Each structure stands twice: as structure tokens, then as C-alpha cells.
Amino acid sequence: MVSEIKVGDKVRLRKAHPCGGYEWEVVRLGADIGLVCLTCGHKVFLSRRDLQRRMKEQFPKGDAAK
Ligand SMILES: [Zn+2]
């Protein structure tokens, strides 16, 4: 659930970033959630609602290297 998201978590979005990457790391929490693309380093901000809609999977911190 997005409500349990924490800084450092990795998430996978339904739609690929233009760089081809699907995985993002949470870098900021607040009214908007900051995400950094793990493939190209691009930073975006999404509202929690947007993130919930776009997110496919969430990996708890330390569990994304698999
Ligand atoms: Zn990217």
C-alpha cells in the first residue's frame, strides 16, 4: 500500500520511463512523493493518488536487488 511507503523503498511502475526503466526509488515523502528513476537518475514528483494508480509493485528497502 502506498500509505506504507517509506524513503528508500523501490517501486515498479506500470508504464516505463522514456529511458526504458521501470524501477524508481522513493526519495521524498510529503504531499507529493519524490521518485528517482534507477535507470537514468531522473527525478519526478507524483501525488500519492497518482503513484497509487501508476505503481505496479513495491519493494521494501533492501529487498530490491533481486
Ligand atoms: Zn529514466
DSSP 34-46: EEEETTT--EEEE
What separation in Å is there between the alpha carbon of 47 and the centre of ligand 1?
18
Residues 6+ apart with CB under 8 A from 18: none
What separation in Å is there between the alpha carbon of 44 and the centre of ligand 1?
10
What separation in Å is there between the alpha carbon of 3 and the centre of ligand 1?
24
Q: Which of 66 and 62 is assigned the larger pLDDT?
A: 62
Q: What is the pLDDT of residues 18-55, one digit of tens each?
A: 999 999 999 999 989 999 999 999 999 999 999 989 98
- Choose which CATH entry (3.40.50, 1.10.3470, 2.30.30, 3.30.1370) describes domain 2-59: 2.30.30
What separation in Å is there between the alpha carbon of 60 and the centre of ligand 1?
20
Domain extents for the chain? 2-59
What separation in Å is there between the alpha carbon of 24 and the centre of ligand 1?
8
Q: Check whether 13 has a pLDDT greater than 80.
A: yes
Mean pLDDT of 3-12: 88
